[in-house]
Amino acid sequence: MNTLVRPPRLAPGARVAVVAPSGPVPEERLQAGLDVLRGWDLDPVVAPHVLDRHGEFGYLAGTDAQRAADLQGAWCDPSVDAVLCARGGYGTQRFVDLLDWDAMRAAGPKVFVGFSDITVLHEAFATRLGLATLHGPMAAGVDFVKNTRAQEHLRATLFDPESVRTIASTGSALVPGRARGVTLGGCLCLLAAERGTPHARTSARGGLLCLEDVGEETYRLDRYLTQLLRAGFLDGVRGVLLGSWQECEPYERVRALLLDRLGGLRVPVVEQFGFGHGEGALTIPFGVSAVLDADAGTLTLDEPALV
């Protein structure tokens, strides 16, 4: 697995576009998130359909064509330096094939931030644009609006990425050891659902795989992990970082499953690393070379996430 192109860091006054690729966005949370971004001396602009709701399927923020147009329009706007997702939910898989990847590639590298359902776009940006992305809090998310640690870690990554080259967690080793690889991953159920699709990687070989999920029963997590194992996606993976399992079953039950399914890989695995749907989520760059120290609970990037 190769490292990907790192986009430029942000500077005061940078214009950032907020898009809603998945579910509908509560207006009050969006406004609160915009206030945070303005407090960072950024210039946030809201894509046209962010506050829309699909007429028939209320779990979508507008139609597939509208959500695709918002993302592509923001990415291809030369005045925009970064694209931040407003929230997750569901819906990215429905429009990812509508995007003009040639046009987006021609627009050049930019910062892209999101998580959860946005896992689909992290994979597509890697395979179609060769671009490193940030798995981090979203502009209208509760964690981004209310949690200082989530805000400050993302802010440091955007403006001063050298200061967060070592990402330290309170996690511990599920399987001890150290490993070097290229970061990738996201929401477990989306990584499993993307198997066989045209925009997803076929393998995590050579990678440090980040996994987390929300609101899933243990047997479903078992299904997703087993799917990745049977599909050969985990063959040759160098290490695994496990984030939050918010609103899943009691963690000891989830932990037993993670050890059962991942322990046989014989690679370092760190648990409770602090990214994903949990409170105070850390920002994890995808597409960069790094060293995982499962015993110390650290991820040390070879280079800053942004140039």
Based on the residue annotation, tell me whether 277 is a catalytic residue of this protein: yes
Q: Are 90 and 23 in contact (CB under 8 A)?
A: yes
Given 212, 216, 244, 271, the catalytic residue: 212
CA distance 280 to 169: 11
Q: Supply angle C-alpha 82, 131, 200, rounded to 5.
A: 115
DSSP string spanning 90-123? S-HHHHGGGS-HHHHHHT---EEEE-GGGHHHHH
pTM (whole model) above 0.85: yes
- What is the pLDDT at residue 191? 98
- What is the pLDDT at residue 145? 95
Convert the pLDDT of each residue in 232-288 to its tens digit. 999 999 999 999 999 999 999 999 999 999 999 999 999 999 999 999 999 999 999
> Which of these, 280, 124, 284, 104, lies nearest to 208 by C-alpha position?
284
- The sign of the CA dihedral 29, 30, 35, 38 is positive
The first and second tokens of residue 200, run together, are 């997803």
CA distance 48 to 69: 9
Given 22, 49, 54, 116, the catalytic residue: 116
- What is the pLDDT at residue 179? 98
CA distance 24 to 144: 17
CA distance 285 to 302: 12
Averaged pLDDT for residues 116-131: 98
DSSP string spanning 187-216? EHHHHHHTTT-TTS-S--TTEEEEEEEES-
Based on the residue annotation, tell me whether 249 is a catalytic residue of this protein: no
Averaged pLDDT for residues 193-222: 97
Rounded mean pLDDT of the chain?
98
Based on the residue annotation, tell me whether 49 is a catalytic residue of this protein: no
Convert the pLDDT of each residue in 159-196 to its tens digit. 999 999 999 999 999 999 999 999 999 999 999 999 99
